[in-house]
Structure 1
Amino acid sequence: MRFENKIVLVLGGNSGMGLAAAQAFAAEGAKVHLTGRNQDTIDAAVASIPGSTGYASDIADVAATQDVVAKVEAADGRIDVLYINAGVGGFAPLEAITEDDWDHIHSINLKGCVFALQKAVRIMGKGGSIVVTGSIGAHGAIEANGAYGAAKAGLAMAMKIFAKELVPRGIRLNMVSPGPIDTPLLYRNPGMSDEQIEGLKKMMIDNIPMHRMGTSDEVAKAVLFLASEDASFITAANLFVDGGLLELR
């Protein structure tokens, strides 16, 4: 039970990789708090995790995240493990990107994550652990992925810098960068038809050395490893969970 008596906050824990991680943390003894934007999926997530608490909160709203942290503090006094998983995708070539598209993607994937970290570390102490969901999209030139790739690349560098800043406080910060994972996020790409999404999936699978997409549970296992004492001498790492797509290209 690697997380027995640990207080865990999963931002974006109501579906996909975040839900899989929240369930896994609870299975290993943690008391879990989670957030999401959809109350129905939050309620379903909480129902699947004994003793958990859910909050409707959009990570793009910094004040809302601060309120969640305050509620966790009021309930349990601290956060031992923080998993920042909230994110949004979106494909558009250079000529089609709008200011609204850019701001929306960056407000969630970059700004929201940075300020969530800022608010949460206030109630984290020595021995605390943070894991952030990045993306292999930050490390490869994927056509029509400019806005998302830029946000995740900025996130990767920001988190590396913050990991260095947190060393004196005894808090570790690492990143998990998934490749193609079969999650609900894949099916929420504005402007893409069902046929285009299926074509995107086939293209990704054809290019993955392991010839399949990953699962949320596989990402969750990587998250729990980095969050646990099994990774006690690891900080500022970026663990690719991508079936070899990036490393073996």
Structure 2
Amino acid sequence: MPRLEGKLAVITGGSSGIGLAMAQRFTREGAFVYITGRRQNELDMAAALIGQRIATVQGDVQDPRDLDRLYARIREDQGKIDILVANAGFIDPRTLVDTTEDNFDKTFGVNVRGLLFTVQKALPLIRDGGSIILLSSIAAFKGIPNDTAYSATKASVRSFVRTWTAELKDRSIRVNAISPGAIDTPIIDALASTTEDADAIQVSFRAATPLNRLGQPEEIAAAALFLASDESSYVAGVDLVVDGGLSAL
């Protein structure tokens, strides 16, 4: 039997990369999935790729009005949420010296403020016993040069997991995080200004990872499936690291 049969899932940032892989896996496991993203054309392509049990809502997690519109539609269409994956994220690598106010504000605006209100505004719809999954990163606890603001946002996500596990215990809502390592997504290309630089980044990540390769989005989706399903019914407050051993060294 599919592991998410009859479940309703919401995945922010679900039109590409890890979010898209999770939406594909969740629908294959029987869930109906709402995905969000800022660009409607990418959402349309994702929906066409998935094909069934999928709905899209264009919006930016930084805009409370967009979040209100998302949850109003779900309330009208479905009336409940079983699984919420706060996956939308932003990275613009900067050292301490190079960090600007705009870089800091946008990084925290998406990764912390946007994530917090994504969860807060969903709470009236999340059923008791539901699952909330937050996307963190090994940057939360591993010193990575050029990730000054980004690493701090992911440390905040880890703190949210602990706090919200305590605050939502009376509703038996499980709050967990996934911390990926180096994953082969379009984000890596966005970190470089040239194809050669992107290749060099991939080479350096592979060399630093004990499994000698980058992870695939589908491998993060598999971890998310575990945390979303009843197979993790006694798992709460954890940070599930999926990084090929990168953070162990």
Classify the TM-score, shorter chain: over 0.9
TM-score (norm 1): 0.96
Residues 89 and 188, structure 1, Cα contact 8 Å, conserved in 2: no
The residue that corresponds to 1:122 in the other structure is: 124
The residue that corresponds to 1:64 in the other structure is: 66
Instruction: Provide Cα deviations, 1:169-209, integer angstroms capped at 9, x if missing partner.
Output: 111011010000001122223x7443333222211111000
The residue that corresponds to 1:167 in the other structure is: 169
More displaced, 12-21 or 196-205?
196-205
Instruction: Provide Cα deviations, 1:104-148, integer angstroms capped at 9, x if missing partner.
Output: 111011110011000111111212111111000111111111110
Provide the rounded CA distance (Å) in 2 between the counterparts of 1:38 and 1:125: 29
Q: CA RMSD in A?
A: 1.2
Provide the rounded CA distance (Å) in 2 between the counterparts of 1:197 and 1:102: 24
The residue that corresponds to 1:41 in the other structure is: 42
Matches within 5 A, 1:167-206: 167-189=169-191, 192-206=193-207
Amino acid at match of 1:142: I
Q: Please state if 1:236 is matched with 2:241.
A: no
The residue that corresponds to 2:104 in the other structure is: 102
Q: Please state if 1:12 is matched with 2:28.
A: no
Residues 81 and 130, structure 2, Cα contact 8 Å, conserved in 1: yes
Provide the rounded CA distance (Å) in 2 between the counterparts of 1:60 and 1:136: 23
Q: Please state if 1:221 is matched with 2:222.
A: yes
Unaligned runs of 5+ in 1: none
Provide the rounded CA distance (Å) in 1 between the counterparts of 2:5 and 2:41: 28
The alignment covers a number of residue pairs equal to 247
Q: Please state if 1:80 is matched with 2:47.
A: no
The residue that corresponds to 1:141 in the other structure is: 143
TM-score (norm 2): 0.96
Unaligned runs of 5+ in 2: none
Percent identical: 37
Residues 161 and 238, structure 2, Cα contact 8 Å, conserved in 1: no
CA shift at 1:48, angstroms? 2.2
Residues 135 and 178, structure 1, Cα contact 8 Å, conserved in 2: yes
CA 1:68–1:217 in 2, change beyond 3 Å: closer, same or farther?
same
The residue that corresponds to 1:89 in the other structure is: 91
CA shift at 1:37, angstroms? 1.2
Provide the rounded CA distance (Å) in 2 between the counterparts of 1:220 and 1:51: 17
